[in-house]
Amino acid sequence: MPLSRQDKEQLLESYAQGLAAAPHAFLLSFEGISVPQITELRSRVRESGGDYVVVKNRIARRAIEGAALGGLVDSFQGPTAVAYCSDDPVGLAKALTDFAQDIPSFQFKGGLVDGQQVSAEQITEIARMPSREELLAKLLYLLQSPATRLVRTLAAVPRDLVVVLNQIGAKKENDGAS
């Protein structure tokens, strides 16, 4: 069923607000994937903080003109879907690559991370990176570690003094008893 002009304008506007504005996006080929599998993929993408949309190629090309995603205009051929997010590209890439391992017909066409184009092979490399939360946890550990060691060292001196005094007291009690 052909789209009316008004429907096309609404699609163009929604693509311009979502796809063209997204700093992180991955283009996907979903040929040969069943509807229940796509539903599962959509839920995985949503859990990772992203959005998944099947696009009309011609309208999507018009929407991304002049945007960072415009460099991938040649990839908008055949059945195309776009998974995009504004926060964590690593989490989105992990969700997509996990799904791709289960479904061999699912393929990456390319992507965009922080405004930089990435190839399909680089998307799997991005998925292997630690997530933002993991990196923040490691940073917090590294920042907290010297302070923790200093506190332990400062607390060791009085603790050791108390241990020595207890041993001296115990020895005097043993000497006095005998």
For residues 102-124, average pLDDT: 86
Phi-psi bin for 157: left (phi > 0), alpha (psi -120 to 50), beta? alpha
State the pLDDT confidence band at 1, using cuts at 50, 70 and 90. Answer: low
User: What is the predicted pLDDT for the residue at 43?
Assistant: 93
- Are the C-beta atoms of residues 109 and 80 closer than 8 Å to each other? yes
Tens-place pLDDT, residues 43-98: 999 998 888 988 888 888 888 777 777 778 888 888 888 898 888 888 889 999 98
- Are the C-beta atoms of residues 91 and 49 closer than 8 Å to each other? yes
